[in-house]
Amino acid sequence: MALLTLEQAKSAVSIPATTTQYDDELEEYVEALTEVIEAFVGPVTPREVVEQADSRGQVLVLLTTPALSLTSFTPVATGGSSVDVAGLHLNGASGTVTRLDGADFYGGPWTVTYQAGRASTPKTISVAARMLLQHWWRTRYGAARGNPGGGEDFDVNEPVPGFGYAIPNRVLQLLEPHRRPPVVA
């Protein structure tokens, strides 16, 4: 479920498509940048999520957002009552689930199966993935790669809270419109 294909990664760091010397390393970088970006914006590529959820009122909140669709809503305990997903409303951006009849959820906890991710990858996320790969690729050997005095476009002079120097501010700025909502306990 990577954000970039190997061909896109090679293109982003100017490696000819026919060169295979760096394929394993590039694939590792792409897997890592996918994890980092999805930690900031939530899942990008659609995937199935199964979680246990509970509610004591009219709203149930899913843990993984954005959510695309509900698949099933079954009670954890035997004897509990299932909820037909056709009778539920999903706000995918916030991950909130409400009943269309306005009633409270009761009889839980439930095992909720749903699709999380995005129907299509926003262009700013794709560009951010390429920029992050370029940053990591160009800085992987430090000063030994040339330009020991710094000043390159991919330098990060100020650490980003929670991300240190690994994520350039320009990448985070591209991701900001898609940032996960804060989690409230």
pLDDT tens, per residue, the chain with 185 residues? 789 999 999 999 999 999 999 999 999 999 999 999 999 999 999 999 999 988 778 899 999 999 999 999 888 876 667 789 999 999 999 899 999 998 888 777 889 999 999 999 999 999 999 999 999 998 876 544 444 444 444 444 554 555 556 788 899 999 999 998 776 65
Specify the number of domains making up the chain.
2
Residues 175-184: tens digit of each pLDDT? 999 998 776 6
Last residue of a domain, one of 116, 136, 152: 116
Domain-ending residue, one of 77, 98, 116: 116
Q: To 5 degrees, how large is the angle CA 97–CA 102–CA 107?
A: 65
Residues 125, 107 share a domain: no
One-letter-per-residue 3-state SS of 31-51: HHHHHHHHHHHCCCCCEEEEE
DSSP state of 143: G
Q: How far apart are CA 137 and CA 124, in angstroms?
A: 20
Specify if 103 maps to a domain: yes
Q: Is the pTM of this model over 0.85?
A: no
Residues β-bridged to residue 98: 59, 89
Residue 183 forms part of a structural domain: no
Domain of residue 154: give its range. Answer: 6-43+120-178
Dihedral sign of CA atoms 53, 58, 64, 69 in order: positive
